[in-house]
Structure 1
Amino acid sequence: MSILGTSCQSSKEDVKPVKTSEAEQLLLKLKTVPEYGFMFGHHDDPVYGIGWDGDEGRSDVKSVCGDYPALMSFDLGRMEIYGDKTLDNVSLDRIRKEVIEQYKRGGMSSFSWHVDNPSTGKDSWDVSDSTVVKSVLPGGDNHVKFIEWLDKLADYMNSIALEDGTKVPVIFRPWHEHTGSWFWWGQNLCTTEEYKALWRMTYERLQEKGVTQLVYAYSPGSEPKDSTAYLERYPGDDIIDLIGTDIYQFDKDNYVNDMERLLNIMTQVSEAHDKAMAVTETGYEAIPDSLWWTGTLLPVVEKYPVSYVLVWRNARERENHYYAPYPGQVSEKDFVKFYNSPRTLFAKDMNNIK
C-alpha cells in the first residue's frame, strides 16, 4: 500500500515505468561523468546576471569563458502560488525554454523547490510552526492543498518537452538541506518518519501524474559527521538516484576540511548504494579570492567521483550576492584556468561523454 492509499499493482502489464528512457540515459551519464571529470553548474545561469536581466543567449559564465555550464539549475519556489513565475521573478515559460535548449546542447538541468509554508502562507524559511510537515501528510489539515500544489508541479514538469512530445529529463532536488532547521521541513521541524513520508508522498504523487522523467537528488547540508548521520532521513534507494551536499565557504580551512569530510562520506554512501554523487550547492559569496577556482575548489573536488559541482546564482537584485565570475570580476582569469582544466566539464564537453 502506498502512502497515498493506492493499491499495489498485481500484474506486470499494469505497472507504469519508473523512469523514461531519457531519464535513465541522464542517470547513466551522471554515473559515467566522473571518468571524464566533473560538470560545472550554475544556478539561474541563462536568465539573469550581474547588470542584466532576461537577455536572450546571455550568461555570466559564458561571457567569461565562452561556454555555458554543463549543468544549470532553477528554483520552482512559489510557482504553486503565482502560477506563471518563481520566487526569483523568473517566468516559468522562460525556464521551460532554457531547460529545453540546455538539453539540446547536451547539458543537464536541475530543479529545486523552495515551496511556501502551506500552514502560514509565508515562505519556506518560515519555521514558526513545527507541525507543517505532519499537516501535509495524509489526514493532515493541509494535505489536500499540498496535493494540489504537487499537481501544479507535475503539470509543469510534464510541459517541458521537445517538439515531438518527448519529455525532457531533469534532476529534481526537493526537501534539501533538511539537516539544518531553516526550512519548514528541516531537522527540528519534523520527525525522521515524517520527513521520509514527505519524500515518498512527493515521489508517488508525481509518479501517479506521469512525471517519470525525473532523476531524484537527496541533498543534506554540511552538518552530517558520518554516513549514519548522512543517511538518517534517507528516503530509500527506490526513490533516490543521486546523493549530494550543500556547503558554502565562509572560512577557507573549515570549508576544505568540511568538504573533504562530506565527500568522503558521500563516496562511501555512493559505493554502498550505487548512486551518483554531486556537490549540489556550493560557492564563495562575491568570490573575493582571485585564485579560488584552481586554488580551493578544484584541488578538493577532483579527488572524488563527483558528477557535478553547482555554484549558486548571480543575483541581479542584491549587491555582492553572486557565486560565478562575470567580466572584470577579480577571479575571472582564474576561472578561465578552471575552465581549461582537463577535469572540468562545460556544455561543449558533454556530447563527448557516452
Structure 2
Amino acid sequence: MMQAFDTTGRVRIPRRIRRPLLAALALCMMVAALAFPSAANAAPPVNPSATDNAKAVLNYLYSVSGNHILSGQHNYTEDPAGWSAQAASVTGKAPAVWGNDFAWDDYATSRQGVVDEAINQWQQGSLVTLSWHQQKPNDPANAGWGSVQGWYTEQEMTDLVTPGTTLYNQWLTKVDEIAGYLQQLKNANVPVLWRPYHENNASWFWWGGRPALFKQLWMNMYDRFTNYHHLDNLIWVWSAASNNDWAEPLADYYPGNAYVDVLGQDVYDGFQQAYYNELVTVANGKPIALTENGKMPDASTLVNQPLYTYFLIWGDHLYSENSASEIQGTYNDSHVITRDEVSIPPLPGNGEVDIDDTATGTGINKYTYSGSWSTSAGAAKFGGSDHYSATTNDYYQVSFNGTKVKLYGSKDAHHGIAAVSIDGGAETNVDFYAVSRADNTLLWTSPTLAAGNHTLKVRVTGSKNAASTWTVITADRVSVTAATQTTINDATTGTGQNQFEYVGGWSASTGSAVKYNGDDHYSGNTNDYYQVRFNGTRIELYGTKDVHHGIAAVSVDGGAETNVDFYASSRIDNTLVWSSPTLAAGNHIVKVRVTGSKNAASTWTVVTADRAVVTS
C-alpha cells in the first residue's frame, strides 16, 4: 500500500477511490528498445523562450539519464534547508538537488524564506525543485491541510478550469501570488524544476482523480506562467503517484509532450520494476525522476532502473525509513552524484542572462533607480512591464558580472535621448525614438569588457531628436554575457587543474552544514600552504572565519603576497575571504600560505580552505 506524506510527515490517507485500478499495463516491448533520453537527442524545453540556465539544466538531466542519478533531499517550508543539512551531516556530502514546497496558505509567511534559500542553494551548486500543495482556491486562508485534501464536485472542478468563472478567477489570484515568488527566482537567474499538482492520478488532492479536468488545469497554469508571466526559468515536471491500488495509470493523466519537460513519480511502496517501466513508456525519451521517495534507492535499483535522473527523499523520511549506513551507501555509490560533483556544461552560444527591470536593489543583477521613474504594463514588454522617466538627470543603473551587456527598452514617437556609460566612463548618446512603438527592442550593446563586476548607467538627458514629441527614456531589461563560474570543493584534492593541493599538516573539519558540502580544511602551522591551479580570469576564495583564526599570505602565479585576515568575532562559515584582480585569460595558480601571525584580537593562527570559485 502506498503512503505519501505532508510537510509535517503525517500520513496522507486517500479520501476516496473513484474507481478500481485498471488492469496492469502490459509492456509489449523490451525496455532496451525504448527511446532513451541522452544528451545527443535532448528535446528543447517546452517553453521556446526558456532561459539559458533552464536549457542547460534540462540538457544536463538528459546527459545524466542512463549514466548517473542526482541525490536529492526535500525540505519543509518552515525550515528551508534543515533536511538537506541533515543529509550532508550523515554523509559528508550535500545533496545535488534541493527541494521545497510553497505549501498551503498557513505557510504563506514562510514562502519568502523558501525563495531566499532556493537562490542560495543554486549559487552553492544545487539544482532547485519546487512543488506546491495548493489549498482549494476558494477556501479561507486558514483552511489548512484539510483543504489541500478537499474535493470539488464535477461541476465545481469544471468551473475552476473554465476562464471567466468565479472559481477560475479565485484560482488565478492564488496562481499569480506564486508567480511573484517564481519571478524573484527568474530575476536571480535560478532555473526551477517546477512540480505543481503532483500525484494527480489519485484522488487524495482536490486536483486529482479526473484525467481530463486535471490536464486542463495543468495547461491553464502552463499558459498563465509561460505566456502571461513569462516565467521562462521553469522546467515543467509532471509528477504522478506510483500506479498501485490507490492510483490509476499514468498515461491517462499525462498532459502531453508540449507541456512537460520531465516526468516523475512518487514512490513510497518499493521501487517496483513495473512502476519504472510504465513511466519510461509514457516519457518516451524525456527524462524521468523519482520526484518523491521515502526509501533510498539501493545499488540494485540504480542498476536495474538506470534512467532516473534524480531522487528526492521526502523530509524526515531520510531517517524514518533509512539507517545511517543505507544513506551513506547510496551517497557513496558510484552512480550517485552529490553537489560537489554537479557540473552543468554551458550552452553553445553567447550564454546571455536576462535581468528584468523589476529586479530592484543594490546588488549584482539589480536595477537601482534614481529619480521619478514609473512603471508601465504591456504584454509585449519583457516580463509584462517596463519603467520610464522623462525627467532630466533621472537615471538607473545595473550592476552585473560579465563581459558584455545589451540594453533593451521601448522605442516610441514621444521618446528621447539617453546617455549611457559603463563603470563611470564616457557617456554615449542612445536615441529611444521610433516612428511607431517597438517594445523590448535592442537599443545599445557595450564593447567587450574585462570579465568581472561592472555597472551600467542610463541617464535621461532631457533632449530629443527633432521628430520626437517628448523626452521619455525606458528600462525593460539588460542581457548580460555572463562569464562561466566553476566551484571547486576543498575536498577535491590533487595536483591537477581545479584541485586543492595541500602541503603540510592540513586537517579536515566536518560537522557544519553551512560549510560548503559540509566540511573544510584548516591549518595553524607556519608556512603550511594550499594551492589551486585553474584556467580563467578571476578566482574567489571562500573559507571559515572565527575568533581563533589568523592571517594568510595569498599570491597568484608566484607574485607578491597579500595578507588576508581570517579572524571574525563570531564564526562565519563558507564566506568570501579574498578575490583576485582580473587576470589574463589562461592558466594560473593561487597559493594560500599560513603566516603563523594573527591580529591582536585572535586567539590562534588558523587558516581555512572551503571552496574556490573560478570565473572563465
| TM-score, structure 2 normalization | 0.44
The one of 244, 250, 253 equivalent to 1:230 is: 250
1:149 shift after superposition: 1.1
Judged with a 3 Å threshold, the aligned counterparts in structure 2 of structure 1 residues 71 and 307 are, in CA distance, closer, same or farther, namely: same
Judged with a 3 Å threshold, the aligned counterparts in structure 2 of structure 1 residues 307 and 330 are, in CA distance, closer, same or farther, namely: closer
Q: Cα deviations across residues 158-177 of structure 1 (Å, max 9, x unaligned)?
A: 1125xxx4431011111111
Judged with a 3 Å threshold, the aligned counterparts in structure 2 of structure 1 residues 242 and 334 are, in CA distance, closer, same or farther, namely: same
Q: Cα deviations across residues 14-59 of structure 1 (Å, max 9, x unaligned)?
A: xx943111111111111111254101111117974xxxx977x971
Aligned ranges 1:39-188 → 2 under 5 Å = 39-44=70-75, 48=79, 59-78=85-104, 81=105, 84-85=108-109, 91-121=110-140, 122=143, 123-127=147-151, 129-137=153-161, 138-161=163-186, 165-187=187-209
Q: Which residue identity is paired with 1:311?
A: I
Judged with a 3 Å threshold, the aligned counterparts in structure 2 of structure 1 residues 299 and 194 are, in CA distance, closer, same or farther, namely: same
Separation (CA, whole Å) in 1 of partners of 2:344 and 2:281: 28
Judged with a 3 Å threshold, the aligned counterparts in structure 2 of structure 1 residues 224 and 54 are, in CA distance, closer, same or farther, namely: closer
Separation (CA, whole Å) in 2 of partners of 1:308 and 1:34: 9
Judged with a 3 Å threshold, the aligned counterparts in structure 2 of structure 1 residues 212 and 105 are, in CA distance, closer, same or farther, namely: same
Q: Cα deviations across residues 99-128 of structure 1 (Å, max 9, x unaligned)?
A: 112212222111111101124444211126
The one of 337, 348, 354 equivalent to 2:329 is: 337
Separation (CA, whole Å) in 2 of partners of 1:46 and 1:119: 22
Separation (CA, whole Å) in 2 of partners of 1:210 and 1:235: 20
Separation (CA, whole Å) in 1 of partners of 2:156 and 2:303: 40
1:305 is aligned to 307
Aligned ranges 1:218-257 → 2 under 5 Å = 218-223=238-243, 229-249=249-269, 255-256=270-271
Where does structure 1 lack aligned partners over 5 or more consecutive residues? 1-15, 86-90, 250-254, 285-292, 315-322
Q: Which has the larger radius of gyration?
A: 2
2:65 is aligned to 34
The alignment partner of 2:289 has SS state of strand
Separation (CA, whole Å) in 2 of partners of 1:148 and 1:246: 28
Contact kept in structure 1, 2:267 and 2:293, CA below 8 Å: yes
Contact kept in structure 2, 1:119 and 1:132, CA below 8 Å: no
Matched positions, count = 290
1:300 shift after superposition: 1.6
Q: Which moved more, 1:196-205 or 1:35-44?
A: 35-44
Separation (CA, whole Å) in 2 of partners of 1:345 and 1:335: 13
Separation (CA, whole Å) in 1 of partners of 2:307 and 2:251: 19
Q: Which residue identity is paired with 2:315?
A: R
Judged with a 3 Å threshold, the aligned counterparts in structure 2 of structure 1 residues 166 and 229 are, in CA distance, closer, same or farther, namely: same
Q: Cα deviations across residues 256-275 of structure 1 (Å, max 9, x unaligned)?
A: 4xx211111222233x2x31
Separation (CA, whole Å) in 2 of partners of 1:43 and 1:330: 15
User: Which structure has the highest helix share of the two?
Assistant: 1
Contact kept in structure 1, 2:65 and 2:287, CA below 8 Å: no
Contact kept in structure 1, 2:71 and 2:97, CA below 8 Å: yes
Judged with a 3 Å threshold, the aligned counterparts in structure 2 of structure 1 residues 146 and 283 are, in CA distance, closer, same or farther, namely: same
Q: Which residue identity is paired with 2:96?
A: A
Judged with a 3 Å threshold, the aligned counterparts in structure 2 of structure 1 residues 46 and 70 are, in CA distance, closer, same or farther, namely: farther
Contact kept in structure 2, 1:130 and 1:184, CA below 8 Å: no
Q: Cα deviations across residues 74-99 of structure 1 (Å, max 9, x unaligned)?
A: 11122xx46843xxxxx223212221
The alignment partner of 1:30 has SS state of helix
The alignment partner of 2:264 has SS state of strand
Aligned ranges 1:184-203 → 2 under 5 Å = 184-187=206-209, 190=210, 192-203=211-222
Separation (CA, whole Å) in 1 of partners of 2:345 and 2:76: 22
Q: Which residue identity is paired with 1:344?
A: V
**1:20 is the counterpart of 2:51:** yes
1:288 is aligned to none
Judged with a 3 Å threshold, the aligned counterparts in structure 2 of structure 1 residues 185 and 281 are, in CA distance, closer, same or farther, namely: same
Q: Cα deviations across residues 261-299 of structure 1 (Å, max 9, x unaligned)?
A: 1111222233x2x31100111114xxxxxxxx4xx6331
1:214 is aligned to 234
1:325 is aligned to 319
Separation (CA, whole Å) in 2 of partners of 1:335 and 1:32: 25
The alignment partner of 2:71 has SS state of strand
1:279 is aligned to 290
The alignment partner of 2:292 has SS state of strand
1:9 is aligned to none
Separation (CA, whole Å) in 2 of partners of 1:240 and 1:224: 23
Identity percentage over the alignment?
24
1:312 shift after superposition: 0.5
Separation (CA, whole Å) in 2 of partners of 1:124 and 1:203: 20
**1:268 is the counterpart of 2:281:** yes
Q: Which residue identity is paired with 2:170?
A: K
User: Which structure has the highest strand share of the two?
Assistant: 2
Contact kept in structure 1, 2:54 and 2:233, CA below 8 Å: yes
* C-alpha RMSD over aligned residues: 2.8
Separation (CA, whole Å) in 1 of partners of 2:312 and 2:81: 21
Separation (CA, whole Å) in 1 of partners of 2:331 and 2:48: 38
